[in-house]
A and B are shown apart, each in its own frame.
Chain A
């Protein structure tokens, strides 16, 4: 049985020998904004994963004695009208945002990948019909879609994911299809077909790897968008439900009513959304710079 090491060729080993710190430093030098984005993303992920370790407060339980306290030693971001610690809710909110954001982005981008590649590969009437459906979905207002999804399936995290995923699929499918169309014309796909390989094999082995760049770019931009959409939907009452800590939810209702006397209630969740989306966007931008051949520097 071959050991895994045997598979790695030596040039890759050489790269691995460069200390991690140096590699990181190079990346930071080359993509300072991307690195900053990655930093935010990592902090957020850590907060989401270790939420219950970082904070000892319960994000849901009311503590009527300490309602609407301004930021202080015990409550760094203050408390809301139910006496809940805002920092705690922001941290747990990261969990909600990330789980919804990542799932929706992955499902949306992957669904788009499948649809886009299939559309390009099969062409003809299949392509025509798919593209019309894509047109309808892209043009359709998200709020109606979300409303209908929530009304038929009931509100809750998984349905928010569905509502966000639906508009992502056509967006990604469009982009992937145009890249895939170009690859389809390359002779080796014809050759593979001539050799009698199955459609699945050709698609998976030859076409999918070649559209990975647009796929990854879409994926990385979707995460930020998904987090923002989740916040908007929750703000509009079509997202996750109280008392689940979610940033968009934290911004509505009371937060708006006593904006002036307790600004911390709305400022911190708003900043959390902004930073999270900011981080993912910086990261996504860097990704685009690295992956998009047109953007590659001389």
Chain B
């Protein structure tokens, strides 16, 4: 088991290195650089000297291989570098936004779970009835609706509905307030994006809950329980659910890991200053260093989650063996 974990940890290295190589050179394939955008982005006269100074400042005049060396070398010295746009340390830029993205990810997951578990269970219990079909239709629609569109529709809906009821249109706050300072303000801001994305994320979890429940409901011990004459509700709650939950929890954990980096479009629509927005801005500014580190963060989360899940499975299910 330990050998397996160690081996997997070692295998992460080529993956991370490959991702670093890919993001570094892909970003530099793009025409233009942060200095061009900074100096020429407004249609006014762009001073070539100012552009040259900026490029020198950012080390963009150095050979690519040296720049790449600096990027990789930073991981050994623990220095993630500074943003090419704001000159602030990247760790600081990311740290600022991490809280919001984390909180939104948690709330989104809560919404997703709150939808997925009851819907999945009822859908399995009432398999092939109209309830089942209705639930499945609802949850598949969740994957089908583009979340950016749903977000815009939610804001519009809120404005129109509140205008009709209160006489004055209300929309969620567009500035983040910490939940410890103003819990209600924080909630009214984040619940809408959480619903817009949570609905989408609930779809897969609902399906997983349903199929896991179906499988468990066919097991012998459930039949036995039924034969014993136990109340159906009890069977579902006590026996079936407990056993069906494992894969569902795993799935939710994986999705959660992705959420932190996966709220790109939602954060745009609701003007939330999280990692997704930072990423889009960084791409727009061609802030190479910041994009690199954000991509590496996403890749790291992906690889680490995969590892944890695999190890967890091995540990939980002795039938799975790893060489």
Contacts and interface: CB of A to CB of B under 8 A. Distances in A.
Interface of A: 32-33, 132-133, 135-136, 138-141, 143-145, 147-148, 151-152, 224, 228, 231-232, 235-236, 248, 251, 256, 259-260, 263, 266-267, 270, 273-278, 281-282, 285, 294-295, 298
14 contacts: A33-B137, A33-B140, A140-B23, A141-B295, A143-B279, A144-B26, A145-B26, A151-B29, A235-B265, A248-B146, A274-B141, A277-B145, A281-B143, A294-B215
Contacts of B141: 274, 278
Interface of A is mostly: helix
A28 to B, nearest CB: 12
A244 to B, nearest CB: 18
A259 B155 CA distance: 11
Interface of B: 11, 14-15, 18-19, 22-23, 26-27, 29-31, 133, 136-137, 140-141, 143-146, 148-149, 152-153, 156, 159-160, 207, 211, 215, 218, 261, 264-265, 279-280, 283, 291, 295, 298-299, 302-303
Interface of B is mostly: helix
A59 B143 CA distance: 28
Contact of A266 (B27, B144, B149, B159): B149
B30 A151 contact: yes
A147 B283 contact: yes
A263 B148 CA distance: 15
B202 to A, nearest CB: 14
Given A132-B15, A136-B15, A136-B299, A143 B144 contact: no
A275 B144 contact: yes
A144 B23 contact: yes
A144 B291 contact: yes
Contacts of A263: 156
Nearest to B153: A270
Nearest to A147: B283
B144 A141 contact: no
B148 A235 contact: yes
A231 B152 CA distance: 15
B295 A273 contact: no
A119 B179 CA distance: 49
B15 A139 contact: yes
A147 B140 CA distance: 29
Contacts of B291: 144
Given A139-B302, A148-B30, A274 B19 contact: no
Among A141, A270, A294, find the residue whose CB has the most chain B CB atoms closer than 10 A.
A141
B128 to A, nearest CB: 9
A152 B28 CA distance: 10
A138 B254 CA distance: 14
Contacts of A228: 143-144, 146
Contacts of A259: 152, 156
Contacts of B15: 132, 135-136, 139
A266 B156 CA distance: 12
A285 B144 CA distance: 13
A49 to B, nearest CB: 22
A2 B37 CA distance: 70
B30 A285 contact: no
A147 B286 CA distance: 11
Contact of A143 (B11, B19, B283, B303): B283
Nearest to A247: B146
A10 to B, nearest CB: 33
A148 B144 contact: no
A143 B275 CA distance: 14
B17 to A, nearest CB: 9
Nearest to B262: A141
Contact of B144 (A32, A139, A278): A278
B303 to A, nearest CB: 6
A167 to B, nearest CB: 12
Given A140-B23, A144-B23, A224 B144 contact: yes
Contacts of B298: 139, 141
